A and B are shown apart, each in its own frame.
Chain A
Amino acid sequence: MNGIYFDNNATTRVDPAVVEVMLPYFTEQFGNPSSMHSFGNKVGLAIKKARMQVQELLGAEHDSEIIFTSCGTESDSTAILSALRAQPERREIITTTVEHPAILTLCTYLEKEGYKVHLLSVDGRGRLDLDEYKKLLSDQVAVVSVMWANNETGTFFPVVEMAEMANAAGAMFHTDAVQAVGKVPLNLKDTKIDMLSVSGHKLHAPKGIGALYLKRGTRFRPMLRGGHQERGRRAGTENSTSIVGFGKAAEMALAAMDYENTIVARLRDKLEAGILAKVPRSFVTGDPTNRLPNTSNIAFEFIEGEAILLLLNKFGIAASSGSACTSGSLEPSHVMRAMSIPYTAAHGTVRFSLSRYSTEFEVNRVIEVVPEIIAQLRKLSPYWDGDGPAAEPEKAFAPVYA
């Protein structure tokens, strides 16, 4: 497919070099790394290498701090449930209103089990209030879980500082860093972060592979018990092929770190400026001064996101939206709501997320197409009147709830 893929926060293409290192592990290198014979031995060595590649990307002190899992969600669940089981006397969790469902849905479930969950709110730019956070920390808190970067807006959270504060209060600190790893230089050994989730498919490795970073000395209770794989911390025969691919992808991400933060960031800035200049009544959501280098989330007022995506798709352009309809839910994105973005704009948010494969040509093409699409849909909108929004749009159209 020769489309323009600007949805890299959803998933990324597997790098051809990653595919290449994986192929032998589907065929001749099929052994079980736990076996005593040479069929398994080579696979075991390959996994060891991959573990070191991931260790290096994360800046972890020891390779044994890396536990391979099946995905970011598994890493998140493992981390939170472990923290609760290891400290049964602590019954509280602190997280944020803008976390990924992998954390929020789990926390809602844990609330039913009797845990107290504190949700930190954000301001209009998606920023946390650290004073509010400080007040919530106590000897009742088992774990704090705060994402490194928000998947919808790209906004960073001060996780290094927040981990120090949690540590001082005796609480464990976990961060869901699936969007940040590979785009932000990390040096976990110099932080108080106890646990960190990472996902392979966000950084050009295949789907179905992830890892949990577990700082040495952090008390741990496995979610999957069984064999001795991953030092007994995650039983189940290793997904060796994908682990090898993940290792290679981690090595490549580290090598491309500067590129992501200079060239990709510049392309993103050009895309964003180009669209904002041509489309009236549109604005950037989140904190543009402190965010991932590849992400731009733009709200187009008075129209709905799914309709925008369908028209973009017709032009071969892939992006994603925070509208209710794209997810099948009744509310627009919880991230947009948490930032108090009005409904008439929240439903029209579109996230463009680039990668190191994105080109200037693609950016120019999207800048050319988007304004036409927005204008076309606004013509259909009851909030729009000719070339601009109706005078007092909320009064011009106030539907009866149906």
Chain B
Amino acid sequence: MWDYSDKVKDHFFQPRNAGVLKDANGVGDVGSISCGDALRLMLKVEPESDIILDAQFQTFGCGSAIASSSALTEMIKGKTLAQALQVSNQDIADYLDGLPPEKMHCSVMGREALQAAVANYRGEVWSDDHEEGALICKCFAIDAVMIEDTIRANNLCSVQDVTNYTKAGGGCSSCHEGIEDILAKVVTERGETYKPGSVPKEDASPIGLTNLQRIRRIEAVLESVRPQLKRDGGDIELVDVDGKTIYVNMTGACAGCQMEALTLQGIQQKLMEELKEFIKIVPTKVGSLSRAMKG
């Protein structure tokens, strides 16, 4: 069973704006029937102002595809086309409190439906600019096509290279066999022989950061999420960094919040991307204590 957030479930069980929009003037049909996900997005745009007056969808797809479609229509209604096109697939995922890595492509599909519908409204033809492959790295949601293209474009020859260029394999490392298979294939095509090289060492920082640089980066990431936490009346502080474990203290409304685990998961993901290594974020006892006192 997928670990869907309550928000995903809500938008799946009670989809907003589902069905045919009778007087639509911009329609985008995207998706792949072989993959089992396809979406029709219908927009009613006011020509004078470019404002999206109404948006509805029809989706052939799984729970998160339907939820992503529903979220997208909610997010873009009332926006101008220019504003709507600013909505990224990550924004759709964030609106839904996150999607499992295997399901991120559902939010990508939503964004592409939007581009296609806008193009249709403007009388242009939209063409897809990416191809999706089998998911290889689950930590960072990187697929086979992306890895293969990157290896080809940059003449890569080791798992370490692939991790540096795409992040794939930089997390739990269980996908290294899959990455090696792709490497072996492309390297053979180049007329060379693939020699298994080194994998990222556990202790050394993969991008060669000193301790101080590493901690500064961690603080910068925490700084970037702070405004969001403060908006909800909470805060976060860095307590200690011990190898791959980062201790933090959740304060204010964040301490004991039902969403704490989810929030930390999101911050952990950001940290992993920034540090390009697998780390674990752990709330300290101080946090748990204040939670106990509150409770």
Contacts and interface: CB of A to CB of B under 8 A. Distances in A.
Contact of A399 (B40, B62, B108, B132): B40
Interface in A292-315: 302-307, 310-311, 314
Interface string A322-358: 0111101111100000000001100100000000000
Which label, helix, strand, loop or mixed, suits the secondary structure of the B interface? mixed
B62 A325 contact: yes
A261 B289 CA distance: 59
8 contacts: A305-B36, A310-B63, A380-B18, A382-B60, A383-B60, A401-B128, A402-B112, A402-B116
Given A324-B36, A331-B35, A347-B36, A402 B62 contact: no
A67 B178 CA distance: 33
Contacts of B54: none
A399 B38 contact: yes
A379 B35 contact: no
A97 interface: no
Contacts of A305: 36, 62
Given A397-B29, A397-B40, A400-B128, A330 B61 contact: no
Contacts of A401: 30-32, 128, 131
Given A382-B29, A402-B30, A402-B128, A304 B60 contact: yes
A383 B20 CA distance: 11
Given A382-B59, A402-B112, A402-B128, A330 B133 contact: yes
Interface of B: 9, 12-13, 15, 18-19, 29-40, 58-66, 102-103, 108-109, 112-113, 116, 126-128, 130-135
A36 interface: no
A299 to B, nearest CB: 13
Contacts of A383: 60
Interface residues of A, number: 32
A1 interface: no
A87 interface: no
Contacts of B108: 402
A307 B66 contact: yes
A398 interface: yes
A399 B102 contact: no
Nearest to A386: B20
Nearest to A343: B33
Contacts of A323: 36, 62
B132 A302 contact: no
Interface string A260-291: 00000000000000000000000000000000
A229 interface: no
Given A401-B30, A401-B131, A402-B128, 10 more contacts: A304-B65, A306-B62, A307-B65, A325-B37, A325-B62, A330-B35, A343-B33, A380-B18, A381-B59, A400-B116
Nearest to A394: B33
A332 B37 CA distance: 11
Given A330-B134, A402-B108, A302 B60 contact: yes
B33 A399 contact: yes
Nearest to B57: A380
Contacts of B109: 402
Given A397-B40, A400-B29, A324 B116 contact: no
Given A344-B33, A402-B108, A382 B58 contact: yes
B116 A343 contact: no
Given A323-B36, A380-B18, A400 B60 contact: no
Contacts of B37: 304, 325
A304 B29 contact: no
Contacts of A400: 29-30, 116, 126-128
B139 to A, nearest CB: 14
Residue from A323, A330, A381 whose CB has the most chain B CB atoms within 10 Å: A330
Contacts of B66: 307, 380
Contact of B60 (A303, A310, A314): A303
A387 B13 CA distance: 21
B63 A307 contact: yes
Contacts of A304: 36-37, 60-62, 65
Contacts of A324: 35-36
Contacts of A311: 13
Contacts of B39: 382, 399
Contact of A380 (B9, B59, B112, B116): B59
Contacts of A302: 60
B135 to A, nearest CB: 7
B129 to A, nearest CB: 9
A393 B252 CA distance: 54
A302 B131 CA distance: 24
B135 A310 contact: no
A332 B36 contact: yes
B34 A306 contact: no
Contact of A379 (B19, B29, B64): B19
Nearest to B111: A402
Contact of B36 (A343, A397, A398): A343
Contacts of B30: 399-402
Residue from A329, A381, A397, A399 whose CB has the most chain B CB atoms within 10 Å: A399
Contacts of B13: 310-311, 314
Given A307-B62, A307-B63, A325 B40 contact: no
A397 B27 CA distance: 11
B265 to A, nearest CB: 19
Contacts of B132: 330
B116 to A, nearest CB: 6
A307 to B, nearest CB: 6
Contacts of A326: 62
Contacts of B60: 302-304, 344, 347, 381-383, 397
Nearest to A346: B36
Contacts of B135: 328, 330
A381 B103 CA distance: 19
A325 B36 contact: yes
- Nearest first, the 4 closest Cβ-Cβ pairs linking A and B are A325-B62, A306-B62, A347-B36, A382-B58
